[in-house]
Structure 1
Amino acid sequence: MDLLEYLFYPIYQAAILAAIGLYFLCRRRYRPALVSLVLGACWLWLCATPAMATRLRESLEHHYPQRDASTYARADAIVILGGGALPRYGLGPNTDDAYSLATRIGFGLQLFRDARADMVLLSGSDQAQRMARRLLWQGVPAGALQTECASTNTHENAVFSAAMLKRAKRSRILLVTSGFHMPRAAAAFANQGLDVIPAPSYDPVYPSWQAHPWWPKRSALHLSGHCLREYAGLWWYRLRGWA
């Protein structure tokens, strides 16, 4: 899956269609060449539009509406998955920076400050330690933090985190990750026997998207690629029995 996942990003899909088109062009088969080239260009353009990206994201997130941190039920632990963006400036004790609070670690911090749980587990080989340092700087007690640094994908996030949580006799968790990643992540953690409360972080708001929904944007292409990858990943996890 790690190598094949690149095939689910629109830019690679368009490149494959372009390569097929050029192959047919070299063989002087002009009609299939034109079809392949036009399909590739149209698909890339469509995935780069905010309208398409928003539709893909909403289709993944509609079961997991975003809510204020204070509205969530109390749990045994807050689990924050790595892989998302970190705050640009570091969260201050009283920060209200919209971008920072929209990150996974920012929303997890909000949950902790609202006393939704007294333990925070940070999972992910790339970011767990970095997130822990950020939260310590915010004043989160060291005794309230646990890090899981061995996992390299969502399945391992769930397996390794569940082992730590079960040893601590904490089975009810608030799971914090990006909204479009939540279907796969929540299913993977529930598959490990945990009682999962999905707590998606807030998605960034792009004002220009609403004004020009059919004008291609790099950020929209990026989001479309992530959403298509999530659909493929969810299918793969179900096939493997991981979700």
Structure 2
Amino acid sequence: MDIIKPLVAALIMPFPLAALLAVLGGLLWAFGRHLAARILVIVALVGLLGAAWGPVAEGLLAPLESRYAPVSDPTTLEGVKAVVVLGGGWDPEGRGPASMRLGESSAQRLMEGVRLVKALPDARLLVSGADRDPAWDPVAWGYAQAARELGMDAARILILDTPVDTAQEAYAVREVLAPGERFLLVTSASHMPRAVLHFQRAGLDPIAAPTRFKTGDRSGSILHFWLPSAQHLRKSERALYEYMGLMALELDH
């Protein structure tokens, strides 16, 4: 099951799905089903171009990212004793300090977590995340090392290095928090709705502290926004992945 879910999610992303439809169209053409072949190829191209188009990508991702606002001033929150940073990706065997080996999403999550903890002197930093491959060092280790490199006191860092997905992270956090303990939850803005739902299912009440917003950026040219691009395609893929995760949670309820 751990292999099937990521595989299914990968196959129904816009680019793999378009490629699959194009291959099927080629096979139908070879067997003389020319009309069906043309339809499949046209659907593949239109779907792929649509997913890579700025207005579509932003339209898909923005509802997820706008669900929760970032925490500008954590000192206005009373009684927060922990900041939880959810796992992501990193390269444990790469060159340079741990802060350079974190993936883009992980680096932004950790930076936000460290910012929040430094503003809350009584709070701990809980860093979470493992890899499905037990031979691969957990990202929680990378988080902890990078946090120390950024000046965090090691005594304030708690490592949760066994959860491999958001659901497991929620229950791992529940095990180390005191009953009713208030905490901030840090993850990418697009992932936050699903993460909050997982934590609520575990009986917790997180305070959302989203980071890594990818929508609403108009710093580039207008032409870039209106032309299909790989950047827009990645936004669509991110949104579709999260919508599928939310749907799976609702069906599992």
Equivalent pair of 1:177/1:199 in contact (CA under 8 Å): yes
Q: Which moved more, 1:14-23 or 1:187-196?
A: 14-23
Change in CA separation of 1:238 and 1:116 when aligned onto 2, cut-off 3 Å:
farther
SS of 2:197's partner is helix
User: What is the alpha-carbon distance in structure 1 between the residues aligned to residue 139 and residue 145 of structure 2?
Assistant: 10
Q: Which moved more, 1:9-18 or 1:110-119?
A: 110-119
Pairwise mapping of residues 43-192 of structure 1 onto structure 2 (< 5 A)? 43-70=47-74, 73-74=77-78, 75-83=80-88, 103-115=108-120, 118-125=123-130, 126-165=138-177, 168-169=178-179, 171-192=181-202
Q: What residue number does 2:219 align with? A: 207
Q: Which runs of 5+ in 2 are unaligned?
A: 131-137
Equivalent pair of 1:118/1:144 in contact (CA under 8 Å): yes
Equivalent pair of 1:104/1:177 in contact (CA under 8 Å): yes
Q: What's the TM-score, normalizing by structure 1?
A: 0.85
Given residue 78 of structure 1, which amino acid in structure 2 is its aligned partner? V
User: What is the alpha-carbon distance in structure 2 between the residues aligned to residue 234 and residue 175 of structure 1?
Assistant: 18
Number of equivalent positions: 231
Q: Which runs of 5+ in 1 are unaligned?
A: 92-98
Given residue 225 of structure 2, which amino acid in structure 1 is its aligned partner? P
The percentage of counterpart residues that share the same residue type is 30
Q: Which moved more, 1:37-46 or 1:199-208?
A: 199-208
RMSD: 2.6
Q: What residue number does 2:133 align with? A: none
SS of 1:39's partner is helix
Change in CA separation of 1:213 and 1:85 when aligned onto 2, cut-off 3 Å:
farther
User: What is the alpha-carbon distance in structure 2 between the residues aligned to residue 209 and residue 159 of structure 1?
Assistant: 44
Change in CA separation of 1:103 and 1:45 when aligned onto 2, cut-off 3 Å:
same
Given residue 189 of structure 1, which amino acid in structure 2 is its aligned partner? F
Shift of 1:48: 1.4
Equivalent pair of 1:85/1:104 in contact (CA under 8 Å): no
Equivalent pair of 2:88/2:105 in contact (CA under 8 Å): no
Given residue 218 of structure 1, which amino acid in structure 2 is its aligned partner? A
Q: Which moved more, 1:183-192 or 1:232-241?
A: 232-241
User: What is the alpha-carbon distance in structure 1 between the residues aligned to residue 18 and residue 170 of structure 2?
Assistant: 33
Equivalent pair of 1:80/1:120 in contact (CA under 8 Å): yes
